[in-house]
């Protein structure tokens, strides 16, 4: 999110001596991206953030691929993923390529026993069910149903859940996540025609600062391995920070839909972009208002991208028999469109109450073993007309 924000106490000038009221040094850290060319933030710690005491075990978390070259439309029943107490173990990878990893999760307990850091990927966590608080080294963000939590790579965090019934849709991106360029002017400000603005983006507002030494376990993900480190200082030792690189939340309910006289293409729903894919939000909206408009999407061929739809709520007008938490994958190279009867049902309708998240990837997605366990094997035949 190209926007300046600051929280807590910082010195007047960067890279200068900074001390607390007891004349103790405060330690500066640059938290940056793309070398020194991307978005960055300057953090100020009560303890040096570099104090590693032990390196414990390392273990492989690579997705187990079942189908490397998939050309079959798939439907996955996401709510069949079983709850799991441990936050990292709860994350079940279902679709993956070299740009992104798409996972489902149903954590039944808060992440408090250790801290987590993903050094390979930005994370977009969509909250389908559950409420709680994302706790990070740059401060805390409360979340609820419909929130996207955008967590930059390298961010140390924990998550508090208010109860046991939680459902998450997670997209990890090997490249930084941004708001779409066409929504911003050359200064980075959101334009008037954008479907959301800076007021809808919520950075951390509560800074937890711990000036503590001890044994603090951080699990670090890098190159599909998790490495367990023990640090000598509490990871949340930041007294203040400023910059452009920080976690934030955006609610899908704050996305203002773009509508037209006839059916408009999927890019009008775009919410985030990365070098290898886009994320779109389908929200309740008025239908097209041409007198002969067909509100259902036209049949189209995915020539350049795989299309993933995660169904959140409502009656998705172009599909039959859709459930909450269901994922459909329509691979590049074959056409897809409304299910039989869906186009006809849409004619004359004035509005839709559908809620869904779409991920369009520019490289083909591989299907994991875990995905096949929750797959409806006959989905690819669902466009046949049955007499």
- Name the residue ranges covered by the structural domains of the chain: 5-64+83-251, 253-381
**pTM for the model:** 0.96
Residue 37 has pLDDT above 90, yes or no: no
Confidence (pLDDT) at 220:
98
Residue (of 107, 163, 155) closest to 132 by Cα position: 163
Looking at domain 253-381, its CATH architecture is Sandwich (2.60)
What is the greatest pairwise CA distance in the chain?
Answer: 82
Contact 373, 318 (CB under 8 A): no
Percent of the chain with pLDDT over 70: 98
Rounded mean pLDDT of the chain?
A: 94
Residue (of 128, 86, 120, 78) closest to 103 by Cα position: 78
Q: Residue 70: pLDDT band by 50, 70, 90 thresholds?
A: very high
What are the pLDDT digits (tens) for 139-194?
Answer: 999 999 999 999 999 999 999 999 999 999 999 999 999 999 999 999 889 999 99
Q: Which residues pair with 307 in a beta bridge?
A: 330, 360
What are the pLDDT digits (tens) for 216-230?
Answer: 999 999 999 999 999
Domain 5-64+83-251 and domain 253-381, same fold? Reply is yes
CATH topology of domain 5-64+83-251: Jelly Rolls (2.60.120)
For 353, other C-beta atoms within 10 Å of its C-beta total 12
Residue 301 has pLDDT above 60, yes or no: yes
Give the H/E segment covering residue 311: strand 306-313
Classify each residue of 295-307 as buried b or exposed e, where b means 16 or more C-beta atoms within 10 Å of its C-beta: bbbeeeebeebbb
Query: How far is it, in rounded angstroms, from Cα 18 to Cα 41?
Result: 16
Query: How far is it, in rounded angstroms, from Cα 289 to Cα 344?
Result: 16
Confidence (pLDDT) at 34:
87
Query: Both tokens of residue 384?
Result: 């046949």
């Amino acid at each position: 999110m190209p926007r300046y924000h600051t929280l807590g106490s910082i010195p007047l000038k960067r890279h200068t001596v900074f001390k607390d009221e007891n004349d103790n040094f405060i330690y500066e850290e640059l938290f940056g991206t793309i070398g020194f060319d991307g978005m960055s933030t300057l953090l100020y710690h009560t303890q040096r953030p570099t104090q590693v005491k032990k390196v414990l075990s390392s273990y492989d978390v690579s997705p187990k691929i079942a189908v490397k070259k998939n050309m079959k439309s798939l439907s996955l029943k996401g709510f069949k993923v079983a709850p799991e107490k441990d936050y990292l173990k709860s994350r079940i990878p279902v679709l993956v390529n070299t740009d992104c990893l798409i996972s489902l999760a149903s954590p039944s307990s808060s992440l408090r026993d250790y801290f987590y850091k993903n050094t390979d990927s930005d994370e977009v966590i969509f909250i389908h069910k559950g409420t709680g608080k994302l706790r990070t080294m740059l401060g805390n963000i409360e979340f609820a149903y419909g929130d996207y939590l955008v967590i930059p790579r390298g961010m140390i965090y924990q998550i508090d859940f208010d109860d046991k019934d939680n459902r998450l849709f997670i997209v990890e991106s090997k490249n930084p996540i941004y708001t779409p360029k066409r929504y911003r002017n050359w200064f980075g400000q959101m334009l008037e025609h954008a479907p959301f603005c800076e007021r809808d983006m919520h950075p951390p507002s509560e800074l937890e600062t711990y000036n503590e030494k001890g044994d603090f376990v951080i699990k670090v993900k890098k190159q599909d391995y998790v490495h367990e480190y023990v640090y000598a200082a509490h990871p949340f030792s930041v007294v203040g920070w400023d910059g452009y690189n920080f976690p934030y939340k955006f609610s899908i309910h704050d996305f203002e839909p773009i509508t037209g006289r006839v059916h408009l293409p999927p890019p009008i729903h775009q919410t985030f972009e990365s070098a290898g894919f886009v994320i779109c939000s389908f929200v309740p909206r008025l239908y097209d208002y041409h007198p002969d408009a067909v509100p259902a999407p036209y049949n189209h061929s995915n020539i350049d991208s795989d299309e993933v739809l995660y169904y959140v709520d409502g009656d998705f007008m172009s599909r039959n028999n859709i459930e909450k938490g269901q994922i459909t994958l329509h691979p590049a190279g074959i056409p897809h469109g409304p299910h039989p009867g869906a186009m006809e049902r849409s004619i004359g309708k004035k509005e839709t109450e559908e809620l869904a998240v779409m991920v369009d990837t520019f490289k083909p997605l591989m299907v994991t073993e875990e995905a096949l366990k929750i797959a409806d094997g006959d989905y690819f035949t669902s466009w046949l007309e049955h007499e």
